Amino acid sequence: MLIDSNATHIDLWQQQERILDDLFQISNLPITASSDAKDKLKSEFFDYLFEQSFDALHGGILVSDMPSPSKTELFYKPIALNSMVCECLVSAAVVFYEGEFMVVAEKIISMLCDKLESEDYYLLNELSFTRKQLESNFSKKNSRNLLDGKEIELLNALTTGDSINNLQSVVIAYHRSLENAANMIDMHYKQARIVEHRLCEKLKFKLVIHKCDEHSTPLPNPLDINCDLVIALANFSLCSPQSNKLVIAEKVYEKILGMANKQEFQHLDLCKLIHAGIILLQCDFRIERFQAILDMTSKFTNLYAKKKQQMNDSTKINYQIAFINSFVAKSREVFNSRILAEFNFVLPQGEKQFRFTFINSESVDLDHKLTGLRSKFDPNHFIFVVDPSYMSTLALK
């Protein structure tokens, strides 16, 4: 299986890194190379989506717990899982030029944004539902009163003539790609995208999921997961700049910063916050945020030096620390040299190679440069568009 939906948060991160590495390797294959590896991984993405209970209307992968006789069976849209799947789908869309992956990613990210907006931009609980909340009186019989002929035909093809409980559920899961479903009913793919969007909008307002507050399950590590959400929203915004997801990412990050100012964050909490902030700088390089990141890094370095002997840090934390240290080191070189340029940094173990590119925001061919830099997928290449006036106002020690 491409992703273990029941994995822990840290295991999900390791699976994500493996998938991103695989995508990077495939993106660097020469044109003359066999497409077997590429086709296999693309097929695994599609298989994963169609094997899961992916909510095609409201977005998100749904999993159920294994209740004891005395407990209510609950269904979840795990936040860490959906955030990670969204990031992988966005990357896969770039590597495979597959628009369908981006559509699914947008449905997931929109579901997460809806929850963020309803929870004041900081999540503390999982999305949980009882079976009763997922049941609906809607059925195929009365679907004809809501959907037109083409919409019903396409929905039947997407769900293989069936869905969870024969559409007597608010969760409608697709079992084949939109391209394959369109081919089955002899519908042009572009037309199918329009029809699919239309039928989803109609059904979404008819089939509404209400959150199960009385069965809310606390997130095991809310700060870590909320920082991961900021990163997922930022990376989605880089690939879809016309969306409003960056605004939400900014609000979540500012909420976490406010928490950090009111309470004493542990050194590992600061590490997560700094990492998410650096990723946000790719979307909007604000000098105030950059300076705040440098200040937090100094504080983190002091705290980590005192606690290091007591810690058994995870692979994820070690990655974040190496990323932060390399970014700060190369930022100093850039700002002190007054030259916007590209720097490479290789971890001592040779496991990762971070690339940092700083571009002048006043370049006449800025869009062309950005398109060229982002045309080749590299999960460890980070691009920052910097106002040149910052170069004269900030010298780093």
Domain-embedded: residue 173: yes
Low-confidence ranges of the chain (pLDDT < 50): 163-166, 349
Among 128, 151, 145, 118, CA closest to 206:
145
Distance CA 267, CA 38 (A): 40
Domain-embedded: residue 242: no
Residues 153 and 270 in one domain: no
Tokens of 396: 């780093």
What is the model's pLDDT at position 193?
93
Domain-embedded: residue 4: no
Residues 51, 103, 42, 320, CA torsion sign: negative
Residues 76 and 193 in one domain: yes
Cα three-residue angle 274-285-259, rounded to 5 degrees: 35
Residues 185 and 326 in one domain: no
Q: Nearest 10 degrees: CA dihedral of 211, 212, 216, 217?
A: -80
Tokens of 365: 């061919």
Residues 271 and 157 in one domain: no
Domain-embedded: residue 233: no
What is the model's pLDDT at position 168?
58
**Distance between alpha carbon 45 and the CA centroid of its chain, in Å?**
15
Domain-embedded: residue 210: yes
What is the model's pLDDT at position 279?
96
Residues 339 and 192 in one domain: no
Residues 199 and 85 in one domain: yes
Residues 196 and 295 in one domain: no
The structure's pTM equals: 0.89
Domain-embedded: residue 35: yes
Among 352, 287, 345, CA closest to 20:
352
Domain boundary among 182, 215, 248: 215
What is the model's pLDDT at position 344?
56
Domain boundary among 193, 215, 237: 215
Domain with 118 in it: 9-215
Report the number of distinct structural domains present in the chain.
Answer: 2
Domain-embedded: residue 220: no
Residues 193 and 135 in one domain: yes
Residues 110 and 191 in one domain: yes
Domain-embedded: residue 298: yes
Residues 108 and 21 in one domain: yes
Burial bucket for residue 368 (CB in 10 Å: 0-12, 13-18, 19+): exposed
What is the model's pLDDT at position 306?
63
